[in-house]
Amino acid sequence: MRAFTILSGKVLPLDRANVDTDAIIPKQYLKSIRRTGFGPFLFDDWRYLDPGTLDIDPATRRVNTDFVLNRPEHAGATILVARENFGCGSSREHAIWAIDEYGFRCVIAPSYADIFFSNSFNNGVLPVVLKPNEVQAIFEVVANDAQAEISVDLPAQQVRLPDGRAFGFEIDAGRKDKLIRGLDAIGETLLQSDAIRAYEAKRQATAPWLFA
Amino acid sequence: MAGKTLYDKLWDAHLVRDNGDGSALIYIDRHLVHEVTSPQAFDGLRLAQRKPWRLSANLAVADHNVPTTDRSQGIADPISRAQVDALDANCAEYGITEFRMNDARQGIVHIIGPEQGATLPGMTVVCGDSHTSTHGAFGALAVGIGTSEVEHVLATQTLVQKKARNMRVTVRGAVAAGITAKDIVLAIIGNIGTAGGTGCAIEFAGEAIAALSMEGRMTVCNMAIEAGARAGMIAVDQTTIDYVRGRPFAPKGEHFDRAVAEWKHLHSDADAVFDREVLIEAASIKPQVTWGTSPEMVLPVDGRVPNPAREADATRRDGIERALRYMGLTADMPITDIVIDKVFIGSCTNARIEDLRAAAQVVEGKRIAGNVKLAMVVPGSGLVKRQAEGEGLDRIFRDAGFEWREPGCSMCLAMNADQLLPGERCASTSNRNFEGRQGQGGRTHLVSPAMAAAAAIAGHFVDVRGA
């Protein structure tokens, strides 16, 4: 997996709470059996004026110029900022694949849905939790200057604003380490194969019906 | 030392290793697989030249993409067909048990797991689907996972998890006549909000929960995720044990007796301490109808649509305004004035036999209203369908003007041909009323099967208790 250390970049201000994964990537794109190709369909229902499917070329669709993702001043943003409970609803990992492929490496919000939060780490995208007033401060910075760059420093666990303000954030030590080193989660777990086998042997002795 | 919660007991029993960094390696007993979230995981296995760790832990079924109409010609949409074909091919390649589309046991993954006895008390159950919380109804630890985690479970039979906080929602006393499990869980979500259970495992408790059948308990746990909790669960009691006994994958004979002896410990200790407790009086719960685009936007059927002018918080006010606009509703209008176009009775929330019986009881001898363009019943599995037909429920629905379909996820998320058109309004027994969930521009109102049936007959929402 790709490593994450320090990211400096422009911000996309998505001023909504409860952004669900159906909104992040609608169901018709979940029919793809590939892991890539979802970036052009990120926020599809908000981003385009006419409906889309996997076999319609997005370049032929009418763009909703009012939607923040399509505003020219926000082009090239790598940090997505939103309100509470981001990524709620379906477990679809396609949501984070779409966010990642579009070009975001980090999401900042006051809170996330649990499954989306795990999926983000598993794809090398950092979900940062800041306090609501700190998230509000970022929205204000971007409202004043869409070109403003903020800095997300994972080793220091800090988000820094251009005016010098810095907001600390919490993250599990294990997740932080995996992200900084870009570790393969399955490879790491398989190092524990003996412990898994020992667990199975013990469990099978007391609850054999689980291994039928 | 304080006693353990049910969640603590399940966690401890599956702990392979504490990583010492806030995470732990947890053993997974049952992995349910469907076509939408697994193809990339199987590809990952192939790329890394890994094999499934324990084949017998896996059970696969195609449910999201399958048509609910005549299946003799296969799946018409080539992209849906390719996804179902990929599941068939992956299961064949690795030797994973799969109920294929034309198998009588095929159905929605969260319906067939319990129906087959593949979901057992005390298990850890995972699936690449957020509604995996359903299986917690059996005193199991059941969580929805992403595709990377599907691959991780296939390859290692474990998951790296952070222990959640303990939350208990107690529904005290008895519900009034005509109040169902769906009304209970919608009322809970309305009370605690869609992020109310974030970071928590919720145990549902109290007399009103204990009085539910297994079908009703599954409905409640199914929507724990709509309250933000990855896992919902209910203690094991005689109702649980009676349901499991004799099912194809359940233990038999002496193993069953040994299992029951262990399952009887699957409840929170009397002195267990919860990080958060919520108490709801069962008698206060009325039939529920969602009005907005989040499950927490829910009201009793005798309520009125909210007025954003009365909301002080700016983000929330904005959310209400956006929802009213999307839903095409006017502030302060009575819920019972909302006129519907379509009715969907189905989904992993409400497509079990008890749900179909409740709806059939309401529609028996009546006809759907003239303004209802389509009313459909999609049984949760081939076996539920067969049982319902044996009881004559299909005839009752058909006589009332409903369509009687083949099992699958169908219009809950509209990945197959069953979809709302832009602007269409649906009374739905499913679990999510998000924008576009049942079709782009479609408008979803979540209700119980009985309330959906009553709306089909009246053409608008009505209190099923007076209908």
User: What's the pTM value of the predicted model, to 2 decimals?
Assistant: 0.97
Kindly state the tokens that stand for B111: 């319906």
Q: CB contact, 8 Å: A120 with chain B? A: no
B68 has a pLDDT exceeding 80:
yes
Residue B466 pLDDT: 87
- For B162, which DSSP code? P
- Residues 44-83, chain A: which have Cβ within 8 Å of B? 45, 51, 53-55, 83
The answer, yes or no, to whether residue B467 has pLDDT greater than 70, is no
pLDDT in tens for each of the 212 residues of chain A? 889 999 999 999 999 999 999 999 999 999 999 999 999 999 999 999 999 999 999 999 999 999 999 999 999 999 999 999 999 999 999 999 999 999 999 999 999 999 999 999 999 999 999 999 999 999 999 999 999 999 999 999 999 999 999 999 999 999 999 999 998 899 999 999 999 999 999 999 999 999 98
- Tell me how close the Cα of B231 comes to any Cα of chain A, in angstroms: 10
Asked if A36 contacts A101 with a C-beta cutoff of 8 angstroms, the reply is yes
- The residue of chain B with its CA nearest to that of A136 is B315
Task: Report helix angle B353-363 to B449-458, nearest 10.
Answer: 30
B195-219 confidence digits (pLDDT tens): 999 999 999 999 999 999 999 999 9
- pLDDT (tens digit, 9 = 90+) per residue, B404-462? 999 999 999 999 999 999 999 999 999 999 999 999 999 999 999 999 999 999 999 99
Would you tell me which residues 204-233 of chain B have a C-beta closer than 8 angstroms to some C-beta of chain A?
225, 228-230
On chain B, the residues whose CB falls within 8 A of the CB of A94 are 147
CB contacts of A92 in chain B (<8 Å) are: 36-37, 146
- A59 burial level (CB within 10 Å; 0-12, 13-18, 19+): exposed
Answer whether residue B62 shows pLDDT above 90.
yes
Residues 3..32 of B with a Cβ closer than 8 Å to A: which? 16-17, 19, 21-23, 25, 27, 29
Residues of B in contact with A205 (CB under 8 A): none
Residue-averaged pLDDT of chain B: 97
| Residues on chain A touching B195 (C-beta within 8 angstroms) | 18, 84-85, 88, 111, 113
Q: Does B198 touch chain A (CB under 8 A)?
A: yes
Residue B1 has pLDDT above 80, yes or no: no
Tell me the DSSP string of B341-408: SEEEE-TTTS-SHHHHHHHHHHHTT----TT--EEEE--SBHHHHHHHHHTTHHHHHHHTT-EE--SS
For residue B457, what are its two tokens? Answer: 């007959």
Domains observed in chain A: 6-181 (3.20.19.10), 183-212 (no CATH)
Contact status of A32 with chain B (Cβ, < 8 Å): yes
Model pLDDT, residue B20: 87
Q: Which pLDDT does position A184 carry in this prediction?
A: 87
ipTM confidence score? 0.95
Nearest Cα neighbor of B349 from B151, B129, B106, B65 is: B129
The bridge status of strand B24-27 relative to strand B15-18 is antiparallel
Q: Does A90 touch chain B (CB under 8 A)?
A: yes
Average pLDDT over residues B40-45: 97
How far apart are alpha carbons B19 and B17 in whole angstroms? Answer: 6
Using a CB–CB cutoff of 8 Å, tell me whether A122 touches chain B: yes
Mean pLDDT of B51-68: 97
**What's the pLDDT tens digit per position in B216-271?**
999 999 999 999 999 999 999 999 999 999 999 999 999 999 999 999 999 999 99
Choose among B134, B43, B154, B61: nearest CA to B101: B61
Q: Which of B129, B318, B415 sits opposite A27 (nearest CB)?
A: B415
B315 band by pLDDT with thresholds 50, 70 and 90: confident
Per-residue model confidence (pLDDT) at position B21: 83
pLDDT tens, residue by residue, B100-122: 999 999 999 999 999 999 999 99
Percent of chain B with pLDDT over 70: 100
Spatial contact of B377 and B403, defined as CB atoms under 8 Å apart: yes
Q: Is B262 on the interface with A (CB under 8 A)?
A: yes
